[in-house]
Amino acid sequence: MAKLLEVNVEALTDEFVLQENRLWDSLSVVSTIAAIDSHYHVVIKGEEIEECYTLGDLFRLIEQKSVNTKHTASMENQHEC
């Protein structure tokens, strides 16, 4: 995220406001979606990211999606038995 938004890593706190960064645009949203998918194996829609005001909001969304993905995979495994 620091590289994408051209800020120091130390600046990236939960309170970091994404919408106020001059580089936070549709291209950065797409890049963020790809990075999240690659790193966390979680699929997030652009509309969901655009609703995130802060970096903390984004990480809470990732966490929520991650929990839901694990729950769904667990349920699918139970049905296969």
Q: What is the pLDDT of residues 42-60, one digit of tens each?
A: 999 999 999 999 999 999 9
Tell me the CATH number of domain 15-80, given options 1.20.1050.10, 1.10.1200.10, 3.30.930.10, 1.20.1070.10: 1.10.1200.10
Provide the pLDDT for residue 67.
Answer: 86
Query: Is this model's pTM higher than 0.85 or not?
Result: no
Banded model confidence at residue 68, pLDDT cuts 50, 70, 90: confident
Q: How far apart are CA 32 and CA 73, in angstroms?
A: 24
| Contact of 8 with 24, CB cutoff 8 Å | no
DSSP character at residue 20 = G
Structure tokens at 41: 């194996």
Characterise 78 by phi-psi region: left (phi > 0), alpha (psi -120 to 50), beta (else): alpha
